[in-house]
Structure 1
Amino acid sequence: MRMATARDVAIFREFSAPATVVSLNDSHIAGELQSVIEDLPLQVGDPVNKGDVLARLDCRDFQWEVERVDAQSDGLKARLDLAQRQLNRADSLKGSSSMSEQDYDQRRAEVQALSSELRAAKAALKAARNVVSKCVVRAPFDGIVLERVAGLGELPMPGTPLLRLLDYRNLELSAQILAEDVAALPDDGVAQFELGQARLPVRLRRLVPVVNTVSGNQEARFSFTEARPPVGAAGRLIWRDPQPYIPAELVVRRQGKLGVFVNQGGLARFHPLNGAQEGHPAPFDLAADTPIVTDGRYLLEEGMSLH
C-alpha cells in the first residue's frame, strides 16, 4: 500500500478571463474661458507633471477687467477714507447746534454704504483674478499627452477639449469574469495577469455587483502589486480556486458512494466525497496531513488493515 497526504495529492482548478490594463484618468482637458489659443507647448507623447502648462489663452480682455475693478476698488477706498474722516468729525460735534441728528445719520449711512461697495469690489477683484488664472490651462495630474484636439489660433467655447491627457501611473486591470466563476475567486483576492510569457501579480480591489445581461460577465478591478504594464495591454487574468480537489484517479466507489480511503490508526476508512462525480476531480474537506491511500485502493474494504 502506498499513501500520500491530502496536501500532496491535492490539485487546484485554474480559471482565466480576458483582462485589459486601464488608466484611472483618461481625460479630455478643456479650457474654462472663451478666448483665442495662443500657445500649445506640448506634442503627442510628451510627459507632463501635475501643474505643468498645457495651453495658454489670450488673456488681455480679462487682465483689463482686473485693472478696471482694481481701479474701482481704489476709488471706493479713497471715498470711504474721506467719509470715515467726516464721520469722525461729526462724532466730535454730535449733540451741538452745528451737527444735526439727520446730518450725522446721513454720514454714518454713507460710510456703511461705501464699506459694502468696497467689499463687493474686492470680491469682484478676486473673481476677475481667478478668471485670469484660467487663461493658463495646467495638467491636473502626471501623465502623457495622447492627443492634441485643438490648434493655435482657434477660439474654443468653454468646456471644449484642448488635449487628451492619460495618467500612466495610476493603473488597474479590468477583467470580464463569467458570473458563474466569480465564486471561485480567492478570498485574499490574489491573482495573476498573463501578458505574453509573463505573469504579473495583481490583487482584487473591487468586484462590480452588476452582471452584463448580454455577455453574462461581471467586471472585476485589480490593482498591480509590482510591475505595471502599459495602458491598453490585453491578456488573461489567471487565478486558482482555493478549494482543493482530489484527482479523479484516486476516487473509488463503495456502496454506491464516491470517496477515498484514508489511513486511520493503520486501518482503511472510506471517506465519502460529497458532490463527487465519476471521472472528475472531487472537492474535499480533509485535513492537509490526512494520509490517503493512492496504490492498492481498489482492493480495499472498510476496516481492512493497511500493514
Structure 2
Amino acid sequence: MMRHFGLPQYALFTGLFLGTINPVWAATSLDSEPLAVTLIPLAKVLQISERSVPATLVSLNDSTLSAEVAGKVTRLLVDVGATVKAGQVLANLDCRDYTHSLSQAKASMTAAKARLSFAQSQWQRNQQLRKTGLLPAEQLEKAQADFDSAQADVAVNQAQVDTASLAVSRCEVTAPFAGQITQRHLQLGQQATPGSPAFQLLQHDVQELSAQLSAEEVAEQAQGKQLRFVADGVTLAVKRRAVVGQISGNTRTQEVRFSLQEPTTLAAGQSGRLVWQSPLPALPASWLVRRDTSLGVMLGEDDAAKFHPLPKAQEGQAAIVDLPDTTLLIDQNRLRVQHGQAIKVESP
C-alpha cells in the first residue's frame, strides 16, 4: 500500500535529499549566522614602504679599438684582462712605409722652404728697384706671383708632412682611456686593416646604473627618498641623472640612468635592485587577499563584507591604497570572509 506524504513532510524530504546530494548547498543554506570579524582603521595599518625594480651597472665606455692604418702586427703589448692607462701603447704595426713617406714629405718641405726664401728675397729686391724706377712694373708683379706661389707650395708640403706624421703615429694602437682589455682580436704577424677590430676596452672606473621603470614608477621615484642600488650584499647610494625619452613598445617602460655617488669594485654588468623609499604610505602585503583573479582588501560596511580590488597591487608587495584613512578593514577572518557576506563586528 502506498503512503502519501503531506506538504510539510514532502518539503522536509526534498531538503534532506538535496542536502545529501550537495552538502555545500545545504551548508550554505543552513549556515546563515554572520561571520565574526574585527575591524581596524586603514590609518593604523599603513606604513612607510620601499619599492624596488631590477637594475644593472653599465660602463659609460665599452669601446672596440681598431687599427687606423694598414700594417703587419709586429708587437702585442697587452692581453685579455690587462689593466691599461690612457695613452698606453697596446700594439705596434710595421711602420716602414709610413716613415718613408714622412721622410719624403720632410725633404719636399725643405726644398719648398728654400724656394720660398729665394722668392721672398727676389720680391724684396725688386720692390727696391721699382721704387728707383729701374724695374718695370711687370717684373715686380712676376716676383710677387713667384713669392705667393712659393708660400702656397710650403703650405701644401706642410700638409703632406702633417698627414705622414699622423700615419706614423697611428702605427701604434693606443688606449683612449684607462680601463681593462676584455677582448684581443689582433694576432702577432697578422695584417691589420683600417677599421678592423683590435681590442675591446672596458672603462671600469666610470659606471652608471640602468633601470627600466614604468611611467608611474618614474614619477614616484622622483619623489622617493634613500635611493640606492643593492647587489650581492653591497649597497651604493645613487642619484637619478636622466630619463630616456622613449617608451619601450613591449614593456611600456622607460630607461632611467643613475649616477653612482660613491666608488665601487662591482663589475660592469652586475645585476641587482634599485631601491627607494616610497613617498606614499602603503598597505603591507599581508593584508592583501585574492578573490577570483583580483588582489584587494576586505572592508566592513553596514554589517557586510565588501571586497575592494587594487588593480596595481602585486603578490607579495606592499600596495598603494586609494581609500580614506578612516576606512575600516576587516582584520580577523579577512582571508575567510567573502564579498557580500554578513558580518558581526567584535571587539579586537
Cα distance 1:236–1:279, how it changes in 2: closer, same or farther (>3 A)?
A: farther
CA distance in 2: counterparts of 1:244 and 1:226, whole angstroms: 29
Unaligned stretches of 5+ in structure 2?
1-42, 289-297, 307-321, 331-345
Kept after mapping to 1: 8 A contact 2:180/2:202: yes
Unaligned stretches of 5+ in structure 1?
1-5, 259-271, 281-297, 300-307
C-alpha RMSD of matched pairs (Å): 3.6
Question: What are the residue-to-residue correspondences of 1:167-186 with 2, within 5 Å?
Answer: 167-186=203-222
Distance apart, 1:255 and its partner CA? 8.1
Cα distance 1:276–1:169, how it changes in 2: closer, same or farther (>3 A)?
A: farther
Identity %: 33
Kept after mapping to 2: 8 A contact 1:186/1:241: no
Further displaced range: 50-59 or 97-106: 97-106
State the secondary structure of the residue aligned to 1:94. helix
The one-letter code of the counterpart of 1:241 is S
Kept after mapping to 2: 8 A contact 1:186/1:242: no
Residue 187 of structure 1 corresponds to 223
CA distance in 2: counterparts of 1:119 and 1:206, whole angstroms: 47
Of 124, 138, 144 in structure 2, the residue corresponding to residue 88 of structure 1 is 124
Residue 186 of structure 2 corresponds to 150
Of 151, 155, 171 in structure 2, the residue corresponding to residue 115 of structure 1 is 151
CA distance in 2: counterparts of 1:188 and 1:32, whole angstroms: 48
CA distance in 2: counterparts of 1:82 and 1:199, whole angstroms: 74
Residue 216 of structure 1 corresponds to 252
The one-letter code of the counterpart of 2:138 is Q
Further displaced range: 103-112 or 65-74: 103-112
Residue 73 of structure 2 corresponds to 37
Kept after mapping to 2: 8 A contact 1:186/1:240: no
Question: What are the residue-to-residue correspondences of 1:120-131 with 2, within 5 Å?
Answer: 120-131=156-167
TM-score, with structure 1 as normaliser: 0.74
The one-letter code of the counterpart of 1:242 is P
Matched, 1:242 2:244: no
Question: What are the residue-to-residue correspondences of 1:129-144 with 2, within 5 Å?
Answer: 129-144=165-180
Cα distance 1:195–1:111, how it changes in 2: closer, same or farther (>3 A)?
A: same
Kept after mapping to 1: 8 A contact 2:72/2:189: yes
Distance apart, 1:106 and its partner CA? 1.7
CA distance in 2: counterparts of 1:38 and 1:96, whole angstroms: 65
The one-letter code of the counterpart of 1:217 is T
Of 162, 176, 189 in structure 1, the residue corresponding to residue 198 of structure 2 is 162
Q: For 1:18-55, what per-residue CA distance to the aligned partner results, in whole angstroms no more than 9, with x for missing partners? A: 11111110000112112222222001111011111122
Distance apart, 1:189 and its partner CA? 6.3
Distance apart, 1:94 and its partner CA? 2.4
The one-letter code of the counterpart of 1:78 is A
Kept after mapping to 1: 8 A contact 2:46/2:283: yes
Further displaced range: 23-32 or 102-111: 102-111
Question: What are the residue-to-residue correspondences of 1:258-273 with 2, within 5 Å?
Answer: 273=323
Residue 267 of structure 2 corresponds to 230
Distance apart, 1:102 and its partner CA? 2.4
Residue 319 of structure 2 corresponds to none
The one-letter code of the counterpart of 2:102 is V
Question: What are the residue-to-residue correspondences of 1:7-26 with 2, within 5 Å?
Answer: 11-26=47-62
State the secondary structure of the residue aligned to 2:141. helix
Question: What are the residue-to-residue correspondences of 1:49-68 with 2, within 5 Å?
Answer: 49-68=85-104
Cα distance 1:220–1:276, how it changes in 2: closer, same or farther (>3 A)?
A: farther
Cα distance 1:97–1:199, how it changes in 2: closer, same or farther (>3 A)?
A: closer
Distance apart, 1:63 and its partner CA? 1.4
